[in-house]
Structure 1
Amino acid sequence: MMIDNQKLEQLLGTVVNELGAASNAALVIIGDKLGLFRALATGDMTSTALAEKTGTHERYVREWLASQAASGFVSYDAETGTFSMSAEQAAVFAIEDSPVHMAGGFYSLSAIYCDEPRLAEAFKSGKGVGWGEYCNCLFCGVERFFRPGYKNHLVADWLPALDGVVAKLERGARVADVGCGHGVSTLLMAEAFPNSEFVGIDFHEASVAHATRHASALRNVRFETARAQDFRGSGYDLVTIFDALHDMGDPVGAVAHIRDSLNADGTLMLVEPMAGDRLEDNLNPVGRAFYASSANICVPTSLNQEVGAALGAQAGEKRLSEVIRQGGFGRVRKAVATPFNMVLEARV
C-alpha cells in the first residue's frame, strides 16, 4: 500500500490538533471551576495579575493561559505580555447566561473518560450502560451544556412556535416534562407561566432529587421518579421531552403512553439534537460532536433498557417522526430549529 505523503501530513495535522484539544479539555474545566475565564473577561491581564485575582498559583496559571491562547480560547498580546478575551471568547467561556456558552459541555468529558473501561466491555458484550452507572459529573455536565440553549430559546422561541400552546400556558395548563433530568427545562417553563401546573418526570432518582431541591421557590412545579412509558397522570395539555427520547429503550412505548396521557387537543413537544436523515448529512462538526456523545452515552443508555431501540443522538427528523406516528400521533411537523436542536410538534 502506497502512502500519499501530502494526505498523511494532513491527517497527522488533524490528529495533533485532536490530541491538543483532548488534553486542553481538562484545563477548560479547571478554568471554569476556578473562575479564570470569568476573571480574564474583565480586562487584559498578565499571568501574575490573573493568579492574584483568582487566588491561584502563577506558574500554573501561566501554563494554563498559554494553552488557552494556543487553542484560540483567549488572546495574547506579545508586545505587552498580557492576555485577554474578545467578546466572542467571553460569550463562549465566561458569560454563563450567554446563548452560546459552551464551558458546561466539557464537564461531561470527565465522565466519558472515567467510564471508558465499562464502555469498552459493553462494546464486546453488546450490553448497555445504565444512566445511573455513569460518573456523576455526567449529569451536571449535561445540565450545564443544555441550559444556555433552553434558557435563551425555550420560552422565547420554541413554545411560541407551537400552535396555540402559549395561550394555554398563560391561561393555565397541565404540563408534564418527561425525561427532565435536573429539571432545567421544567423550571424555566414554570417560572414563565405561573398559572400553569408542571410536573417533571425522570427515571433517575438522583436527578429528581436534585431538581426537587431547586424547585423550592416555585409553587406550580413538582418532580417525581417514573419511567416515560408508565408515569402517572392524564389530561395533560402539553407533554415535553427535551433531548431524551433517543436515550430511551422503548421510545415508541414512551410516545404511546404520552399520547394516552394527553387531552384530545393536547400537544407533544419533542426537542432533539439537530440532524439530517442520512449519515452523509451529518458528517460535519456538529454531527461529529453528537455522534461521539451518542456512542459514549446515548446508545449505551438505551441498550441498557427494555427493547433497547438505540435511536442515537442523530436519528433525524424522518426517523423521529416515524417513532411519533407509531406511538399514535397523526400529525408531526418541525416547528423550529437551531444549529443544535430541532423542535417537533405532534398532535393527534
Structure 2
Amino acid sequence: MMSSNPTSSACGVAGFYRNGYRANLVENWLPTLDGVVSRLREGISVADIGCGHGHSTLLMARAFPSSRFFGFDTHEASIMEARRHAEEEGLGGQARFSLAKADEFADQQYDLICFFDVLHDLGDPVAAARHAMEVLAPGGTIMLVEPFAHDHAAGNMTLTGQLYYAASTVICCAHAISEGGHMVLGAQAGEARLTDVFRKAGFTHFRRAAETPFNMIFEVRR
C-alpha cells in the first residue's frame, strides 16, 4: 500500500499485510493466474506498484530467481526499508526499488504488474491502470489484489467488512483525497467498481481468480 504518512504508519501497514502475503502469494494466488507461474520460472520482468517495505516483491523474487523485480512507491522511507530488506536477504541484484507514482513508474515492458492492496488508495486509479496498460508487455498480466468486499454495503456488514470500512475512512479514502481524489474507491470497492476502473483504462479481460476472507485476487489482461 502506498503511503505518504509518517514512517510509523508505513511500518504498521507493512506488518498488517506481510503475513497474509507470506501465507498466500506464492503458493495460492500466483498459481491461479493463467500461465504466470511458468513464465516466472523461465524469467520475466515484474513490477510491484505501491511496494511499501518490499515484502511482496521479495517473496516473489525469492521464489522465482530467474525473474527480475521492480518495486515502486511514493514513500521514500519505505523504499529505503525495502532496499535494506533486499540486501539482507541477498536479493539486491534481483529486486530493485525506486520512488515513483503509480501512473509514472518506468517502462520496462513488464510481463506481470502487481497492485497489492493499493489501487483503492490512489487518487486516480484509472490513470494508474492506463499507465499499466502502456508499460505492459504483449501477452502480459495484471495481478490485482484488493480487500474482500461485496458490491453493496449490506453485504459487507461482517467483522472483516467493518474493520475495512473503518480503515477505509481513516486511511484509504483520506489518502486518495490527498492525491486529488478523482475516484475515491476506499477499501470496500467491490468487484463491479474495480472492473469499471480497468474497463475505462482499456482492458477487456477481468477475472476473479481467487479469494480469501480478507482479499480478492483478479487477473486482468488486454
Query: Shorter-normalised TM-score: what interval?
Result: over 0.9
Q: Specify every segment of 5 or more residues in structure 2 that has no aligned partner in the other structure, as ranges.
A: none
* Counterpart secondary structure, 2:151: coil
Partner of 2:29: 158
Q: 1:58-105, CA deviations, whole angstroms, 9 ceiling, x for partnerless residues?
A: xxxxxxxxxxxxxxxxxxxxxxxxxxxxxxxxxxxxxxxxxxxxxxxx
Count of aligned pairs between the two proteins: 218
Q: 1:304-334, CA deviations, whole angstroms, 9 ceiling, x for partnerless residues?
A: 0034421000000110011011111110000
* Counterpart secondary structure, 1:269: strand
Compare the two structures and name the one with the higher strand fraction.
2
Partner of 1:336: 210
Partner of 2:95: 221
Q: Distance in 1 between matches of 2:148 and 2:59?
A: 22
Amino acid at match of 2:209: A
Q: Distance in 2 between matches of 1:144 and 1:205?
A: 17
Q: Which of residues 137, 140, 146 in structure 2 aligns to 1:272?
A: 146
Compare the two structures and name the one with the higher helix fraction.
1
Report the Cα offset of residue 264 of structure 1. 1.5
Superposition TM-score, scaled by structure 1 size:
0.61
Q: Specify every segment of 5 or more residues in structure 1 that has no aligned partner in the other structure, as ranges.
A: 1-129
Q: Which moved more, 1:251-260 or 1:307-316?
A: 307-316
Q: Which of residues 89, 106, 119 in structure 2 aligns to 1:232?
A: 106
1:300 aligns with 2:171: no
Q: Distance in 1 between matches of 2:43 and 2:82?
A: 22
Which structure has the greater CA radius of gyration?
1
Which of structure 1's runs of 4+ aligned residues deviate more than 6 A?
none
* Counterpart secondary structure, 1:188: helix
> CA-atom RMSD, angstroms?
1.1
* Counterpart secondary structure, 1:182: coil
Q: Distance in 1 between matches of 2:200 and 2:211?
A: 23
* Counterpart secondary structure, 1:292: helix
1:174 aligns with 2:60: no
Superposition TM-score, scaled by structure 2 size:
0.96
Q: Distance in 1 between matches of 2:202 and 2:161?
A: 29
* Counterpart secondary structure, 2:66: coil
Partner of 1:148: 19
Partner of 1:15: none
Q: Which moved more, 1:267-276 or 1:141-150?
A: 141-150
Amino acid at match of 2:64: F
